[in-house]
Amino acid sequence: MQEEGKMPKLSMKDLIVLFFDTLAARCWARLGLTKDEYGEMRQDLNEARLGIDVLDSVLKTIAQDIDQEIHKELEAVVTNLKLNYVNQYKKSKEAQR
């Protein structure tokens, strides 16, 4: 049992998954599909793309070191982000016409 007030000790894998989740949330916000950390709706597709590329690289790096079920969940997040990036990119190009 853990003492009250003490933070649990996280493994490197736990920290990487936490980082992944945090960065994925930021990517959704930069796609303009959710509110950002300041409660605002703002789209920045360059930042979204950078975050998605980093998540993709991290996932490839940790693939052999994490549970297959967790890998599938994280892979689905990256896939959904990529698909939504393409959709938002197309919408922004159409709006510029």
pTM attached to this predicted model: 0.86
What confidence score (pLDDT) does residue 75 get?
Answer: 96
- Burial class for 93, CB neighbours closer than 10 Å (0-12, 13-18, 19+): exposed
What's the pLDDT band for 4 if we cut at 50, 70, 90? Answer: low
Domain ranges of the chain: 12-96
Output DSSP code: residue 64: G
Region 72-80 average pLDDT: 96
Residues 16-47: pLDDT tens digits?
Answer: 889 999 999 999 999 999 999 899 999 999 99
In Å, what is the CA distance from 3 to each residue of 6, 9, 14, 28, 85?
6, 12, 20, 35, 43
